[in-house]
Amino acid sequence: MRDLGVGFGYLVRGQRWVARHGKQYGFGLLPGLVTLVLYAAALVALALYGADFTTWATPFADDWSSPWPGLFRGFLTAVLFALALLLAVLTFTAVTLLIGQPFYENLSEKVDRDVSPDGTAPESGLPLWRELWISGRDSLRILVRAALWGVLLFGLGFIPVVGQTVVPVIGFFVTGFFLTEELTAVALQRRGVDLRARLTLLRSRKTLVWGFGTPLGLAFLVPFVAVFLMPGAVAGATLMARDLLGEVSAGDAPEEPEGSIGSDEQRVTP
């Protein structure tokens, strides 16, 4: 579908934008580095003490005959760590955006001014504490939605064949959707678009959203990559937000792979 290529094009263009604006890229790395250190410390602690936790949480297995207690607790420890990794992927963007709100807000505004025909950028007019409150509240709501999807997909993962093939693919598309929501929220919140309207807007262009967020979600699985891609992801999401709202940008239609076919889906303004 054409919109898949268009969405990926925004991701590429965002990385190119920060590559041309080294100062913005440098500042944009700081929140990701802080978040990475916090998450790495939590995952290391889980790796060191996860087995002790599962042993403490399953006293009923003490009376089982060998080797069942070890196998059962080993399985639970592996599941616990896998869920922690999934939660880390789903929440990394939200936490990084919350920590780096002033940095990414400034970056998004500069992208808007750079591509706007009149050189202006929308401003929320809200104090920083209010923006942080709205961002944190909305991120928590998205996290709840993502967690519900995670539980559902985890359960479906036990279905033979389908659980090992189709379900992981669905999981990546779900992750991509929620990543895109978090990233476009920087620009859309500044325009006064609330969470419900943002979700409606993104659902109206699912293939565009998947083209942007799904490759990004896959890249985020590689250690440290999320930190280096975050500034460009925010820039690309700002460009895509302009497209979603039908705003005119100076000289641009995003690059698409050669030979892509299909028709644009209708743009919707909330």
Contact 220, 92 (CB under 8 A): yes
Per-residue pLDDT reduced to its tens digit, 104-128: 888 999 999 999 888 888 887 777 7
| Sequence letter at residue 7 | G
Please tell me the distance from the alpha carbon of residue 113 to that of residue 238, in angstroms, as a whole number.
11
Query: Which pair of tokens denotes residue 199?
Result: 């979700």
Cis peptide before 67 (omega within 30 of 0): yes
Output b/e per residue, 14-32; b: 16+ Cβ within 10 A.
bbebbeebeebbebbbebb
**Hey, is 227 helix, strand or coil?**
helix
What's residue 112's pLDDT?
Answer: 93
| Sequence letter at residue 140 | L
Per-residue pLDDT reduced to its tens digit, 65-95: 888 888 888 888 888 888 787 777 777 877 8
Per-residue pLDDT reduced to its tens digit, 147-174: 788 788 878 877 877 777 888 888 889 9
Label residue 12 by pLDDT band (50, 70, 90): very high
